[in-house]
Amino acid sequence: MATHRSSRSRSDAGRLARWVGAALGVGAAAIVMTFGGLAVLAATTVNLGTASFFAVLAGTGVTNTGSSTVSGDLGTYPTTSVTGFPPGIVEAPYTTFAADSVSGGAQTDLTTAYNQAATGEGSTPTAVSSIITSTSLSLGPGVYQASADAPLSLSGALTLTGAGVYIFQTGSSLVTMTGSSVVLAGGASPCDVFWQVGSSATLGGSTFAGTVMASTSITVGSAVTVQGRLLAGTGDVTLIDDTIDASRCITTASLPTPMATPTATTTTTVPTSGAGGTSPFIGAGVLVTLGGLALLGAVATTGIIRRRRYPSV
């Protein structure tokens, strides 16, 4: 009789060990999903702060010729000059902020975002030719820097393929030629493309995508379409019959209004998309973690009960 109990106890102990191993395995996998996967699955986008609400932002004024359309707020700080609107249009629900606390706060946040983009989020940039020729070039998410920090010139088609953050750096100027284009494919979003320009940008191509953060000024040629933002630090922004559309990247429910008085230190929730969001695996990892811990607790309790029912002899 004692032998029967001892054998049954060892069998139960084996089952208990297997259940504990399984529970620990589930818990470990959940921890990896919850925490270890973040570095790979959740990239950090450039934080534009309150500048994210602007499709056009300048330091010394905005000048427009013709019927340009701006989808996103338009602002200038510290200069108040905004000319050519109308005939240019700032589409509702967006508005214009000229040398007020809203545009001033946005300029402060732009400086922070510019410096963030210039560091590439601590990533080592990949060198690209300073002249992207008529030969089509396709790039995936990452940080790219013009060779020798030279002026970056685009004369062909640049295709950005895949969801994720794209940061292009140049310590000099950015020039896009007539007929050039930036094409988004495979889930790439204009909200996650950033151009950090050390001096001024001149956009003359037919289509362009991303947020241009120019230290000085931005000049856009005739009939250019920009999916993104034009943000100039100390200089002006010049438009000619252009379409600047940042609406896809702006949460209209949080838009500032002329009655609002945010300061440079105001904390604002910045809309995120693509790789800028939180990994969808976080919630699943938490649930699996809790399930694994619950299973482990149940197994431990079962083991205690079985030991009491079948004591060793």
Provide Rg for the chain, Cα atoms.
28
d(CA 144, CA 171): 12
Q: What is the pLDDT of residue 121?
A: 67
pLDDT at position 254: 85
- Residue-by-residue pLDDT tens, the chain, 313 positions: 444 444 444 444 444 444 444 443 433 333 333 333 322 233 378 999 999 999 999 999 999 999 999 999 999 999 999 999 999 999 999 999 999 999 999 999 999 999 999 987 667 889 888 777 666 789 999 999 988 888 999 988 999 999 999 999 999 999 999 989 999 999 999 999 999 999 999 999 889 999 999 999 999 999 999 999 999 999 999 999 999 999 999 988 889 987 443 333 333 333 333 333 333 333 333 333 334 434 344 434 444 334 444 344 3
Using CA atoms, how far apart are residues 150 and 140, in angstroms rounded to an integer? 22
E-strand ranges in 162-294 read 166-170, 174-176, 181-185, 193-197, 201-203, 207-214, 218-222, 225-232, 237-240, 243-245
Q: Please spell the DSSP secondary structure of 282-296, one letter per residue.
A: HHHHHHHHHHHHHHH
Torsion of CA 187, 188, 192, 198, to 10 degrees: 170
Cβ contacts of 173 within 8 Å, gap of 6 or more: 151, 152, 197, 198, 199, 200, 201, 202
Q: Which two tokens stand for residue 18?
A: 């297997």
What was the pLDDT predicted at 170?
94
User: Hey, is 35 helix, strand or coil?
Assistant: helix
In this structure, what is the dihedral angle of CA atoms 253, 254, 255, 258, given to the nearest 10 degrees? Answer: 110
Q: How many residues does the chain have?
A: 313
Residue 64: strand pairing partners: 239
Centroid of chain to Cα 252: 17
Burial of 273 from C-beta contacts in 10 A (0-12 / 13-18 / 19+): middle
Q: How far apart are CA 308 and CA 188, in angstroms?
A: 61
Q: Check: pTM over 0.85? Answer yes or no.
A: no
